[in-house]
Structures are given as C-alpha cells and as structure tokens.
Amino acid sequence: MSKGFLVVISSPSGGGKTTLREEILKCEKDICYSVSYTTRLPRREEVPGKDYYFVSREKFLQLVKENRFIEWAEVHGHFYGTPRDFIEENIQKGKILLLDIDVQGARKIKECNLPSVFIFLIPPSWKELERRLLKRSTESEKEIKKRLKRAKEELSFYQDYDYLVVNRLIEEAIQDIRCIIRAEKCRRARKEKWIKQLISESS
C-alpha cells in the first residue's frame, strides 16, 4: 500500500465537479470523500452528511473556535469548512481523500503541508462555462453574474495547482482524474517502502 494523501479538486462554478466527484467515488473504492461543513442551504438534489454537513452560522463559528477545521472560508456569503480530524486520521491510515474545495480553501490546504495533489478542473471555453451556469436553473440571474465574475477571479489561481484537467467531455475528465490518482500512488516517495524491501532482499 502507498502512503495516504489528499486529492484537492477545485473548479470555477459550473465546472461539473459534483458529477465528476460522484463518478470517481463510484469507481475507486479506496478513495473517500471529505464532506465539508457549510452554512448555505441545501440545493434540491443535495443530501445532508453526503454532500455537506449543513449547519447554522452559530454552530459553524463554534467549530471554528474549537479549531475543528483544517481550513474554512466565506464564499458567496456562506461559510465552508473542512473538518480536521477526519482528514488527519484518514491520511494516517493510508487513505486517499478527495476534497472538493474552492481556490481560497485549496490555498489554505496547501499551507498545511499535508501530502496533497492539487487538480484544477477548467471548462473548455468561457462560452461553455456561461452556458453551463445558465443551464443550471436553480439560481437567479444576479447569482449567475456573481458566479461568472468569481470564476474569472478563480482562474487566476491556477498556478497553485499541479494538474489542469479540461472538462470538455465529463467521461474524459473523469479518466484524467482517475489516472492522476493512480499515477500519484506510484510516486517514488509513496512507494519507497517497496523499493527498500526489495533492496534488503537482494543483499
């Protein structure tokens, strides 16, 4: 077994992260998803405890005070936080943890120096991003404009990421990310136990 690490996926809104995350978790049984806390309301299709832990602002701020988040941030007026215990315990166990997080959050994760891989999922074109946001009819026009403005800002964070995956066809993007994870398991630092074992056998 290789050592545990985080797979941090960020994407401008409408990038298609949710579908992609679900597909990856379905295919890869040794990967678990780190469920974040948020103070925003659930969308129609979201399941509490699976997509997010939905909590009140008071509860959230209490958890902040207790240092229970590895990172937290305010995005579009709502709080989002990544639970510390879950992450640390699972890395210790050698697990691969999928984190679906915005660019601010990813930057904070980066500062934690946990073993991590950073993937930026980008739309194939700006026109396509607009189209996808409009298609997702759960939000008002004002909200969509806000998201587009934010998407533009988010793109400028790309240098924080190890990999850029273009989400043209979702199946291709899923394959890219599955391959990135498989490749990362083969990184020298994560396989050192193997080679040391082999070297000791040869003596």
Positions that interact with a copy of itself (CB under 8 A): 119-120, 122-123, 125-127, 151-152, 155-156, 158-159, 161-166, 175-176, 178-180, 182-184, 186-188, 191-192, 194-195, 198-199, 201-203
The CB-of-20 to a copy of itself minimum distance in angstroms stands at 14
Nearer to a copy of itself (CB atom), residue 30 or residue 89 = 30
> Nearest to residue 71, comparing CAs of 57, 81, 60?
81
Nearer to a copy of itself (CB atom), residue 90 or residue 175 = 175
Give the DSSP letter string of 37-51. Answer: EESSPPPTT--BTTT
Tokens 């602002």 locate to: 57
The CB-of-71 to a copy of itself minimum distance in angstroms stands at 21
For Cα atoms 9, 182, 126, give the angle at the middle one, nearest 5 degrees.
Answer: 35
The CB-of-40 to a copy of itself minimum distance in angstroms stands at 25
Would you mind telling me the total number of residues written for the chain in this entry?
A: 203
Phi, then psi, of 95 in degrees rounded to 5 = -80, 160
The CB-of-180 to a copy of itself minimum distance in angstroms stands at 4
